[in-house]
Every structure is written in structure tokens, then in C-alpha cells.
Structure 1
Amino acid sequence: MSQSSILLTRIDNRLIHGQVGVTWVNHLGANLVVVANDKVSEDEVQQNLMDMVLPDTIQSRYFSLQKTADIIHKASPRQKIFLVVKDVHDALTLKEGGVPIDHLNIGNMHYEEGKSQISSTVSVNEKDIESFKRLGELKVKLDLRRVPNEKGQNILDLI
């Protein structure tokens, strides 16, 4: 697989929803959305609900993190992949597992107890910050932006 088969990797704890399934897919010209998440890879109900958001012309795959790392290199050049993960830790696991992620879009990380809100859609805790810094050390461009036409920010400038 050439690195260009992965058009973009996005952190969005909602995984596939309207913004991902329509706005980002159309902007990128993706024809395949790969969700890399251990829980969702085994939850057909959640997969079916997410598939309802995608246009009929867009395929989806739901893989565990390990399976994603094992098979992403076998993708056909015809597959224009939009890779979606639930959190920064999954992104780091994939990167350290050999998945060619050079650009990471941080779209949505919900607020919860113990997290600090750094933008309208992203909240982080110390463990998240450590993972983002590690990704930065691995030369991954870290771009916080909700939608394609929004001006992005390097998340390392905000944490």
C-alpha cells in the first residue's frame, strides 16, 4: 500500500456520524471509511447504525487496532481510506504499530471528569497530552479542526 491510500486519520469519539460520513468523506474524496476500534469491531449493532449515515457509494470496515495495523498495508491503490479512531491512544497505538499516519485530524474528544476543555469540541487529560506529545515526536502533524473549511490549529500549541 502506498501511504497515499490513507487520505486522513481523524480522532472523533463519535466515530461515524453526519460530519464524518458526509462532510469529511466528500471533502477527502474517500471511498472507504475504516473505523479502528477494539469494541466497535465486535459490535454489529453499532456498525449498522454508523453505516446508515454513509452514502451508498462509500464502503466501511470495522477492525480492531491490531487487525488494522496488520492489514492496512494490503489496501488496494483504488481504496481511498478515511481512517477514524475514537481517541488519541488508539491513534498512537496504530502509529507505533506501523500504520502510516503522518497527519492526524483531532475533531472531537468529549469533556468528562478530569479533562480540561481546550477547544469547543476537544477536552484532554494528562494521559491524552502525553500521547499527543509522543505523536509529535513521531513527526505526526496534529491538526485540531472540526470541519474541513475551518482553520486548523496545532494541538501542541494549545496543551
Structure 2
Amino acid sequence: MIITLARIDDRLIHGQVTTVWSKKAAADRIIIVDENVYQDEIRKTLLKQACPPGMKVNIVNVPKAIAVFNNSKYKDDKIFYLFTNPAEALKLVKGGVPVKKLNIGGMQYSEGKTQITKSVSLDQEDVKAFKQLDQLGVKLDLQVVESDPHVNIMDKISEKYKG
């Protein structure tokens, strides 16, 4: 598989993804990697309906994503990975999928999270996962919309989480 884009966006397939990011990715297929979505039949159906025209979408958990990545049948497929959180991306990387760059879009605020930008809020598990991804050499590019400047999320994390 050829990874054209890997992005965290907890809304998954929505306006920005269908009109901008999917075009930027120039992929054949969107693969959503998320255990909760994988187990939610209604949400899976809705996401498949929201997929950009002409693009396939698959919703899988991490073990299935790793198995598919390693299946030679798909070696020439261009893939756009979508995640809701950095923990699933970390599991994929630790499982041997060579994600070199991770684009970070929206991660909405909820109880227990700290807002680090107007569109990104993190809890301690998110911070821990981002730190591990950074240590594994994954470039962490915070860019909610394509016109935003590129920012290394680790810089924002250091500002908010001293130490």
C-alpha cells in the first residue's frame, strides 16, 4: 500500500475531508482505523454514505488494518488513513505500518481534555501517544484546514504541558 495521507480528525468524513483532504490525498481508498467505529454498524453505514464520490471507504480496527497493509493484493493501492485519536495511529505504527507523517485536524474538547488550539484538545493518553509517535520518528503536523500554517504539535504540547 502507498500511504498518501494519514490524518487524525475525530469527525472523520465531513466537509473538509470530502472537499479538501481527500483531493490532497489523491488516494483510491479511505481507511478509517478506529475500534469504536468498527463496532458501530450505524456509524459505519453513515460514514460510507458520506464518502467522496469515486472513493472507496473501509472501516477497520488496528489488527485488520495491519493485515490489509501487509496483503500483497493491495500493494499498489493509494491509501488515506483516518483516525479519531493518536493511540490508534500509534498502534498501527508499532504494528509495522510505516506512517511517516501524521496530519492532525480536529480533536474536540470533552471532560478531562486540555485545549491546546481552538480545534485540538488532548488528554494525558493523547499526549503520551503523540510523544511516542514523535520518538518513533513520525512527523506530527498540526494543520486543521489546508490553509493553516504547518505546526509541529509537539511544540503546542510543550507549551501546555510543562515537563
TM-score by length of 1: 0.91
Give 5+ residue unaligned stretches, structure 1: none
- Is 1:38 matched with 2:47? no
The residue aligned with 2:160 is none
Query: SS where residue 137 of structure 2 aligns?
Result: coil
What is the CA deviation profile of residues 54-88 of structure 1, one whole-angstrom value per residue up to 9, with x for unaligned ones?
Answer: 232100111111110122132231x2110001101
Matched AA of 1:63: V
Q: Structure 2: how far apart are the matches of 1:125 and 1:49?
A: 27
The residue aligned with 1:147 is 145
Give the CA deviation at 1:27: 1.6
Q: Structure 2: how far apart are the matches of 1:62 and 1:127?
A: 23
Query: SS where residue 39 of structure 1 aligns?
Result: helix
1:67 to 53, 64, 67: 64
- Is 1:18 matched with 2:15? yes
Give the CA deviation at 1:42: 2.9
Matched AA of 1:58: M
Percent of aligned pairs sharing the same letter: 38
For these two proteins, the number of residue pairs brought into alignment is 155
Give 5+ residue unaligned stretches, structure 2: 158-163
The residue aligned with 2:47 is 50
Matched AA of 1:8: L
Q: Structure 2: how far apart are the matches of 1:108 and 1:131?
A: 16
What is the CA deviation profile of residues 68-121 of structure 1, one whole-angstrom value per residue up to 9, with x for unaligned ones?
Answer: 0122132231x2110001101111111111111110011011111121111111
Equivalent positions of 1:105-124 (< 5 A) are 105-124=103-122
TM-score by length of 2: 0.89
Q: Structure 1: how far apart are the matches of 2:129 and 2:54?
A: 34
Q: Structure 2: how far apart are the matches of 1:149 and 1:46?
A: 29
Query: SS where residue 7 of structure 2 aligns?
Result: strand
Q: Structure 2: how far apart are the matches of 1:90 and 1:25?
A: 20
Q: Which moved more, 1:35-44 or 1:136-145?
A: 35-44
Give the CA deviation at 1:52: 2.2
Matched AA of 1:135: L
8 A contact 1:18–1:53 mirrored in 2: no
Q: Structure 2: how far apart are the matches of 1:104 and 1:138?
A: 12
Matched AA of 2:90: L
Give the CA deviation at 1:28: 1.8
Matched AA of 1:93: K
The residue aligned with 2:96 is 98
Give the CA deviation at 1:148: 2.1
RMSD, aligned α-carbons: 1.3
